[in-house]
Amino acid sequence: MVFAFDTNVISDNSGELLDGLLLTVEVAALGFAIAALLGLPLALAGQSRSPLLRVPATLWVGLARGVPLLIVIFWLYYAAAQEGLFSLTAFVAGALSLGLTGSGYMSEIYRTAFSAVPSGQREGAAAIGLSRFQAFRLIVFPQALRTAIPPGMNVFVMLLKGATLLSVIGLADMFYTAKLVAVNEFKPFELYTAAAVLVIAVTLIAALAAGIAERRLSKGVRR
């Protein structure tokens, strides 16, 4: 028996696959935004001299990086609803799961980026009369952001891959759509291959966008 790759099943269902891809990218992007927003205060708290801030932040980062994403998804979508705590849609539960998991990684990225800014920058800011907040907003954070972009994009790619797990809670993403079509058409190899190629394409586009953003932020910076 000779295997023949059937491209017709892909073209016939391209609209559904692209709709699923769009949903996958949307939930991954929202999850990344949540992770980026949570990661910043976590990084600052982790560098605080006060144990009341540093210890909880350290525990959060450890849990976020240590607990498997699938467990977080099930807890937010099934367990919390069963216990009557709250009930979330598959999209919201998925975005929060990605965001909470990614926040631990983004916190470490921010922390490393802040450490990469020379201490002389802060000392110079204090010498010209800037407050600590002004020094952070105008001098430290812009330089740290440039350093954080490449590893931050790696986190986005990680969350994009993690978003493919959300089909287990019924989110009609690309892989959920591919699974349904594969069951009806008996063409799993073609459909899952197409889904994988689309994810790779989005990953490459995201990496290209990150490179462009990093170069623009690096204009005028001496190497």
pLDDT at 124 (0 to 100): 84
Using a pLDDT cut of 90, give the percent of the chain over it.
Answer: 37
What are 68-123's pLDDT values in tens digits?
Answer: 999 999 999 999 888 888 888 999 999 999 999 999 999 999 999 988 888 888 77
Average pLDDT over residues 165-193: 85
The 3-state DSSP class for residue 53 equals helix
Q: Answer whether residue 29 is part of any domain.
A: yes
Of the ranges 18-22, 129-133, 137-141, 184-188, which is most confident?
18-22
Q: Answer whether residue 45 is part of any domain.
A: yes
User: What is the tally of structural domains in the chain?
Assistant: 1
The parent domain of residue 115 ranges over 18-171
pLDDT at 219 (0 to 100): 65
pTM for the model: 0.87
Nearest-Å Rg of the Cα atoms of the chain is 21
Gap between the Cα atoms of 126 and 99, Å rounded: 35
Q: Answer whether residue 24 is part of any domain.
A: yes
Q: Answer whether residue 107 is part of any domain.
A: yes
4 pLDDT higher than 60: yes
CATH (domain of 127): 1.10.3720.10
pLDDT at 120 (0 to 100): 81
Q: Answer whether residue 71 is part of any domain.
A: yes
Q: Answer whether residue 103 is part of any domain.
A: yes
Cα of first residue to Cα of last residue in the chain, in angstroms, is 59
Q: Answer whether residue 128 is part of any domain.
A: yes
For residues 102 and 35, the answer to whether their CB atoms sit within 8 Å is yes
**Structure tokens belonging to residue 181:** 């079509």
Of the ranges 57-66, 109-118, 189-198, which is most confident?
57-66
Q: Answer whether residue 157 is part of any domain.
A: yes
